[in-house]
Structure 1
């Protein structure tokens, strides 16, 4: 079965946008913690940086460490799940639910499309 190229591009493009949105959610969470300015700065910069390092090492298309599909999906669940929890903790439950749903749907589509290649 041949998948139309525009569908693949759209799904992969959305996946990238969702990855960036997860980093933004983690930064938003960190910068809005009711802690000292220094701690808030550390959390706001550190949480997305840690997520990006984990993603790059294990879940990116050119990851440093090759994992089986289940491992890659677990890393994605960890990073995206942390972003959803971050949104809930800053009282954006509707956005968290929407984001989590779109992430789930797009991850399924991208995984199926990549398996069909």
Structure 2
């Protein structure tokens, strides 16, 4: 059972990384000058990562509300990342990210994996 929980949490972490990549991809593929594209490709994922670390991470310095609210906000970040990919003409990747993140977030929520000490 421990390896299943570890695998689920590892996939959740990979989803976080994919979300950051999605925001960077979206920022770079906006219709604007190259300087703006590069700035957005760095700034968007950086801003999301900072907000995630401060409010949503397991060791957040300012933890947000309860576990259900934090989980819902994490899912919102994944939905926005999926929408970013979809808007950047990566429809299949956007929909795949949405479906996988929905499944993993639901599993984490149902099994209450925030309480697990690895």
TM-score by length of 1: 0.89
Q: Does 1:93 align with 2:91?
A: yes
Let me know the Cα RMSD of the aligned residues.
1.5
**What corresponds to 1:108 in structure 2?**
106
Q: Is the 8 A contact 1:8 1:113 kept in 2?
A: no
> Structure 1: which 5+ residue stretches go unaligned?
none
- Report the number of matched residues: 114
- CA distance in structure 1 between the aligned counterparts of 2:115 and 2:69, rounded to whole angstroms: 19
User: Using a 3 Å threshold, how does the CA distance of structure 1 residues 108 and 37 change in structure 2: closer, same or farther?
Assistant: same
Q: Secondary structure at the match of 2:60?
A: coil
Gaps of 5+ in 2: none
Question: 5 Å matches for 1:64-79?
Answer: 64-67=61-64, 68-79=66-77
Distance 1:55 1:116 in 2: 19
Runs of 4 or more above 2 Å deviation: none
Rounded Cα–Cα distance in structure 1 between residues aligned with 2:98 and 2:25: 16
Shift of 1:65: 1.2
Please give the residue correspondences for 1:1-117 in structure 2 after superposition, counting only pairs within 5 Å: 4-67=1-64, 68-111=66-109, 112-114=111-113, 117=116
Q: How far apart in 1 are the matches of 2:115 and 2:58?
A: 16
Aligned-partner Cα distance in 1 for 2:107–2:93: 21
> 1:74 deviation in Å?
3.3
Tell me if structure 2 keeps the 8 A contact 1:80–1:100: yes
